[in-house]
Amino acid sequence: MYLSAGLAIIAYLICTFTLLPQLLQAQSGTEKATIPKRSRFIISSAVALLLHGVFIQQLFAAGGQGLNFTLLNILNLMTLLIVLLVTLALSHLNTLWFLLPMVYSFAIIGILVGVLIPGHVVAYLQDNTALLIHITLALLSYAVCFIALLYVFQLSWLDKKLKSKKVVFSPMIPSLMSVERQFFKILCIGELLLTLALLSGALSLHNFFAPEQIQKAIFSFLAWIVFGLLLIGHRKLHWRGKRVLIYTISGMILLTIAYFGSRTFLTVL
């Protein structure tokens, strides 16, 4: 496990340091800044993803029976899904290059936490198909919404650059409108997945509304409402700018509390 974790971190660092010089050139206004060669980058990313996948497989098998679904293991699985989705989308979207260092850093932190802070088993996924579907949809919805959050940060950065007239035209820097379009497309997909996750939980899991689980359902539903209001507000009222940033961050905070910290949050309150 330690070998695969170390190799995965090295692979992610290679990807990051391969990309950073070109991103810094683009941000500083260097005309030579170009989009990285996809073939070389995809190969190094594929190696990192493979090693990350091996590490997660070893984490989930550590319990010795069934799948070891600790909080830390779920976090690592989410980081892998986020990196995989972003890397796959690179073949169609040039707007993602600026997000990659953040995504890879997130993956490295997840691996380090998984290695240095081993968790205790909290649940096992065995032959429960309904639970498997619900967990898969929940993980995918969080991963996609997290990518949307990265997009909204990029959107805010570009907006500030344009207003300060410091923006530099480069193949590495996408237009504001293209980033905005991709953001709302991704958020719409995340909202759809979150809807399916909530429906699958409510219809298939007998303990979805149990006292020990109800806080997760409530915070997830609140996040679903916030994202839904943002999508409707943009479509009907043409919401943009800070309002989009605030709604997206608020929705992700609610979703994160629902998935990871609902019980802790309520205890603090």
Dist. CA 235–CA 245, nearest whole Å: 16
- pLDDT tens per residue, range 10-23: 988 888 777 766 65
Dist. CA 241–CA 70, nearest whole Å: 38
* pLDDT at 77 (0 to 100): 84
| Choice among 9-23, 103-117, 156-170, 229-243 with the minimum mean pLDDT | 156-170
- DSSP three-state, residue 261: helix
- pLDDT tens per residue, range 155-195: 887 778 777 765 555 555 667 787 788 889 889 999 999 99
Dist. CA 77–CA 85, nearest whole Å: 12
Dist. CA 95–CA 129, nearest whole Å: 37
Residue 30, pLDDT > 60, answer no
Give mean pLDDT, residues 73-102: 76
Give mean pLDDT, residues 209-229: 88
Nearest CA to 54 out of 123, 13, 6, 14 is that of: 6
Dist. CA 22–CA 42, nearest whole Å: 16
Residue 124, pLDDT > 60, answer no
With a threshold of 0.75, does the pTM exceed it? no
* pLDDT at 96 (0 to 100): 65
* pLDDT at 120 (0 to 100): 45
* pLDDT at 204 (0 to 100): 79
Give mean pLDDT, residues 22-35: 51
Kindly give, in sequence order, each residue whose CB lies less than 8 Å from that of residue 136, ignoring residues fewer than 6 positions away: none
* pLDDT at 28 (0 to 100): 46
| Choice among 108-117, 138-147, 223-232 with the minimum mean pLDDT | 108-117
* pLDDT at 234 (0 to 100): 92
- pLDDT tens per residue, range 47-85: 889 999 998 888 777 655 556 666 667 778 888 888 888
